[in-house]
Structure 1
Amino acid sequence: MSAKTKLPVGQEAIEEFGWLRAHRFLLLRRATQIFFLSLFLLGPWFGIWWVKGNLSGSLTFNILPLTDPFILLQSIVGQHWPETTALIGAIIVGVAYALIGGRVYCSWVCPINPVTDGAHWLHEKLGMQKGWQPKHNTRYWILGMVLAVSAITGSVAWEFVNPISMLHRGLIFGMGFAWAFVVAVFIFDLFVSRRGWCGHLCPVGTFYGLLGTKSVVRISAVERSACDDCMDCFAVCPEMHVITPALRGKDGDTPLILSPDCTNCGRCIDVCAMDVFKFTHRFDDTPVPGREGRTRTQPASGASKAA
């Protein structure tokens, strides 16, 4: 085991680059999440209606329609054919996320992400066990169940319990029952299943993951031969299984993280003092040596900070 696994997560990067550099993508994500949420709150709070609606469906400057394609899909299977503006809005959003990575929505836009990140932070601070971990395909069963309920009831079923919509309503109308759904997500991730909601249950994230399966924007472990086995990238990654094929690959294996589960959050880039990771595109064929080709002497770690 590398001695550096005993350091606090990200400490080596902070010492090497400074605190801001070691948190740049985390800070950018929080900024974009606040920005998008603020756009929807400007109207109800201040009467500035640049954007009308919410993340499910909106109209910007009375010109640009945007529709959550997952909402549109539920509407269609519920036998409610959407209006042309809703179709156009869904196509715009769908194409955008198909290109940049569907689960970018989860890490850069979704307002529930800070809630689950907060639960994870507290979970780690309290030194709690990771708890129950649903099987990987659970998310797909839930997605299918949501669509089945929409088809049977003729409704957009997920909107009745969607924590994202509930958070938006709570911020507009104040404290109420809507907050119970948000608190439930926090408690679930804190006490029941570490990173369980976004990683294993949320059908919205599952849908966007499928949408961005062939997305262009990717993270690459392009300098994986420099890896010093500190394990910080695994500790901060919300979907740590996506890192292994890219980071531990043999000579000739792609260093690209190609799994649709990757949220492109950039935290692996933040915390890596060796600058192993970078944002790139799926067509990047830059040759890199595998783990066997590295010149460092640290042995491969047998444990993880995230364990």
Structure 2
Amino acid sequence: MKKVIMDVDTGIDDALAILYAIESKQLDILGITTVNGNVPLDYVTKNTLKVLHLAGENIPAYPGAVEPYLREAVHEFKVHGNDGIGNALDDMTVTKELEDTFAADFIIESAYEHNKDLTLIMVGPLTNLALALKKDPAIKDMIGEVVIMGGVVSNAGHGNMLPTSEFNIFADAEAAKVVFHKGLDITLVSLDVTHQVMMTDEHVEKLKDTKYYNFVKDATDEYMAYGLRLYGKRQCALHDPLTVGYVLNPTLLTTEKYYVDVETSSPLSYGQTICDFRGLLGKEPNVNICPGVDSERFLEDFIGTLNL
């Protein structure tokens, strides 16, 4: 089984991604690292521990960056609700505690221990990994693969923070820039494909009478209401679960390698992931982008995996 670390800013789709990864039974999840993002870090941490409790798993969780690499924090309460997971687990009491090790240090330790066998699944801002690379640059040669949910590449103008910017990159563009330029094996699962995997009420109803039905239904209600306002239909994009889906089955997505950089200066396009499709910059390709997705096959696998 692949040895993975999941780096999360647990809002709704992060929670679904964690459950998908666990219930796939195909991943050796070494730990989950938390990062400020969709909601503040204390919310992220509490949500992560609740999701692990719901799944009945004792996977260690490591607290990460409280704020971005350089800039001020931004959050997405309007999408993820007051607590980040649609208040779906308000009544849950969690006794599980966080590990003492800081997330960036856990990433460093794991890179040394599992040299080249380690996959990082990054579904929040990239602050923790940027901090780890800053502290110990040598780990860039020890991490096997980094799969990132972030950015918008071919479909510029359809961002979710600015017209050209996606939240995870926008929330810490400086950290993303650091990560993209360290020579890592990076695959970027961007809005170009995640906006093609929409979960609807019909999908949720396929989970009726299963372990996760109530949580998925309650957690995604506000998320789908946001989709209704945005698209005119009750639906929500499975950004983070698709990122896990790629790690489980790379054939779900097509990939092509190009040079990708991150805009950190312009107020009009801060956080934009700029892909040099025509090689105009003369730079070596550094990121595998995902131009296509088998959305039907992914949705079938995602729902089937949670259908316990």
TM-score higher than 0.5 = no
Whose RCO is larger (CA < 8 A, sep 6+)? 1
- TM normalised by structure 2 equals 0.25
Q: Hey, which of these two has a bigger chunk of helix by percent?
A: 1
Q: Hey, which of these two has a bigger chunk of strand by percent?
A: 2
Question: Which structure would you say has the larger Rg?
Answer: 1
- TM normalised by structure 1 equals 0.25
